[in-house]
Amino acid sequence: MNRRDVFEMLNTIFRNNFDDEGIILNEETSSADIESWNSLEQINLIVAIQDEFKIKFNIDEVNAMNDVGKIVDFILEKIGS
């Protein structure tokens, strides 16, 4: 799985979660870009990501996720590709 695949899967997760087909993620997308993406919404994304990629994040990782690029970094690191 490469960075692009992960992006695509993340895009689906985000679209589902916010029920917004218009979402297009890039490396810099952050909570400032998606109106309803607040800290409580973040947990729903994390739950979906963990389930999709069969991985688990720890507290430090979640706290460091300030944009989508960072999320992708962590995912790639965990799935080891």
Partner 1 sequence: MKELEYPFNAVWIISNRRKIRKNLLNTNQNLIEKKIAVLGGSTTKDIVQIMELFLLNNGIKASFYESEYGMYYEDAVFENRELEAFHPDIIYIHTSNRNVASFPELTNTKEEVETLLDLQMQKFLMIWDQLLEKYSCPIIQNNFEMPLYRLFGNKDAYDYRGSINFLSRLNERFYEYANNHKDFFICDINFISADYGLKEWNDPFYWHMYKYALNVNAIPYLSFNISNIIKSIFGKNKKGMVLDLDNTLWGGVIGDDGVENIEVGPETSSGQVYSEFQEYIKLQKQLGILLNIDSKNDEKNAIKGLKHPDSVLTLNDFIEIRANWESKDRNFIEIAKSLSLLPESLIFVDDNPAERDIVNQQLPGVCAPEIGESHQYIHNIDRNGFFEVTYLSEDDLKRNVMYQENVKRIELQAKFSNYGEYLKSLEMTAVIKPFELIYNARIAQLTNKSNQFNLTTKRYSQGEIEEILYDKNYITLYGKLKDKFGDNGVVSVCIGKIDGKICHIDLWLMSCRVLKREMEYAMMDVFIHKCQQRGILEIRGYYYPTEKNGMVKSFYKMMNFDLVSEKEDETVWSYVVNDSYKEKNKYIQVEE
Binding site for partner 1 (CB under 8 A): 13, 16-19, 39-40, 43-44, 47-48, 51, 58-59, 62
Q: Which is nearer to partner 1, 3 or 15 (CB)?
A: 15
Closest residue by Cα to residue 55 from 70, 31, 76, 30: 76
Work out how close the CB of 38 gets to partner 1 at its nearest, in angstroms, rounded to a whole number: 10
Closest residue by Cα to residue 6 from 75, 77, 80: 75
Q: Which is nearer to partner 1, 4 or 59 (CB)?
A: 59
Q: Which is nearer to partner 1, 28 or 66 (CB)?
A: 66
The burial of 50, by beta-carbon neighbours within 10 Å (0-12 exposed, 13-18 middle, 19 or more buried), is given as middle
